[in-house]
Amino acid sequence: MRKRPRTPWLRRPVFAGLCALLFAGFAAPRPGTAQGVDGPVPAGCRAVGLASPEWQAIGRRYAMLARAMREKNFDAMVGLYAPTFEVREANAGGQPPLLTRAQSIELQRNRMASVVETKLISNTILRLISCGDRVTATVLQQWYRTQMVGDRTVLVETAAVQDEEWQRTAQGWLRGNIGNLQSGAMLVDSKRNDPSRPYNRNAPPFEPFPLEPAVPGPVAAPHACRPGDPASPTWQAIGRGYARISDALRRRDLAAMLATMAPVIETRTPEGAVWNRAQAEAYARAGIEQVRETRLTSNVILALRDCGDRATATVLQQWYRTQLFAGQIRRLETAAVQDEEWGSTPQGWLRGSVTNVRRGAWMVDGKRVNPDRPTDLDAPAWEPFPEG
């Protein structure tokens, strides 16, 4: 196999969240993978990869769905719904927890009627479980669009991780149901809103966790690993840690960002290189120097595996910013789902390694690019799957 030539990092969008490049490692064993995206595989089913016929077929269906939404072709969009289609959206603002096929079609009809233009619609498959004539795709959905809200047109940018069942039928693969929806950051005209509540244009920008300094104290006691609860002290402490990371990025404060990290750092780049702390700090410093303004930085905890003195958070990370890229100030928007280790220390909870990174859609000046290849700004917008 021919080795791909090394590419200067400025020819790529900075990895989804500059902080994700600082893969800091604690010395002790890791507690394992959180269950937000990578739960157990049901009996009689199997996880399949990108090269499988099922993954490719479902990817092409998502390409059809994306085109239908861009063209506002409502019949083509609904034509991908199975007869048993339903949606469970328990955390969606103002909506019932279960929508039947008819209710969902009516909701989507009203929603699409308000959409002026879809700038991006992407369903990135994070995991696919095949059970024969049914598959479940865990997807990172990103939808950027202009739409009418009241008497004005606004820019709405949403992201969510959800499970979507697909059924093999005589008409091809059709969507069976959507569930386990976990919303990421939602922006309306660049102001963050609480996705669990109806939109209120007069509300202040939403912050999921307060910005507070790390709390020094005794190290938490270890215990058997278990799923974390959003109300638990560990979940809340890590949430506040993400608030400090976001604040440091917005202020371009390298020292504050590095202060959230474990003292022993092992940095693993996306290409597989391993750096020491000095190399990682130099990379972070160069990256922050390129960024001019952060419009959004968000790490939404999807699941937490709590082991007492350690925890692994599965997060949906979004970073929207302007930065110097390929010789010009450009608008970049990146997203990823990844596992991040945190450890309890006398200085408070500090972040360790970042693993299992799955990239979503990446945009440069409003055009989608392939996050796994050097960015060619003259290439047409990237499409991960052909329609079919």
Same domain, 30 and 96: no
Same domain, 162 and 215: no
In a domain, 2, yes or no: no
Record the tokens describing residue 31, joined without a space.
């507690």
In a domain, 377, yes or no: no
CA distance 95 to 187: 19
Segment 259-278 mean pLDDT: 70
In a domain, 387, yes or no: no
In a domain, 388, yes or no: no
In a domain, 385, yes or no: no
* 3-state SS class at 231: coil
Same domain, 274 and 162: no
Record the tokens describing residue 84, joined without a space.
């048993």
CA distance 68 to 175: 15
Same domain, 223 and 329: yes
Please identify, among 142, 158, 192, the residue that sits at the C-terminal boundary of a domain: 192
Domain count, the chain: 2
In a domain, 381, yes or no: no
CA distance 225 to 270: 28
Question: How is residue 10 annotated by DSSP?
Answer: G
In a domain, 364, yes or no: yes
* Interval 70-89: pLDDT, tens: 999 999 999 999 998 888 76
Q: Give 145's contacts (C-beta < 8 A, 6+ positions apart).
A: 115, 116, 117, 118, 119, 121, 155, 156
Please identify, among 139, 169, 192, the residue that sits at the C-terminal boundary of a domain: 192
**With 80 as the cut, is the pLDDT of residue 95 above it?**
no
Question: How is residue 43 annotated by DSSP?
Answer: T
* Interval 153-201: pLDDT, tens: 999 999 999 999 999 999 999 999 999 999 999 999 999 999 988 889 9
Please identify, among 192, 223, 244, the residue that sits at the C-terminal boundary of a domain: 192
Same domain, 237 and 295: yes
Same domain, 63 and 126: yes
Give the H or E element holding residue 179: strand 172-183
In a domain, 227, yes or no: yes
Same domain, 231 and 259: yes
| Average pLDDT across the chain, whole number | 86
CA distance 356 to 337: 8
Question: 339 forms bridges with which residues in the sheet?
Answer: 314, 355
pLDDT at 192: 97
**With 70 as the cut, is the pLDDT of residue 48 above it?**
yes
Same domain, 166 and 268: no
**With 90 as the cut, is the pLDDT of residue 24 above it?**
no
At residue 25 the predicted structure's pLDDT band, cuts being 50, 70 and 90, is very low
Same domain, 55 and 29: no
pLDDT at 117: 97
For the domain that residue 21 is a member of, what is the CATH number?
3.10.450.50
pTM for the model stands at: 0.88
* Interval 55-72: pLDDT, tens: 999 999 999 999 999 999
Same domain, 65 and 24: no
Cβ contact 161:299 at 8 Å? no
At residue 9 the predicted structure's pLDDT band, cuts being 50, 70 and 90, is very low
The domain containing residue 258 runs over which residues? Answer: 12-38+207-369
Q: Measure the CA dihedral 290/293/295/296, to 10°.
A: 50
CA distance 295 to 50: 32
Same domain, 154 and 245: no
CA distance 106 to 96: 13
pLDDT at 16: 39
CA distance 163 to 38: 11
Same domain, 18 and 65: no
pLDDT at 266: 64
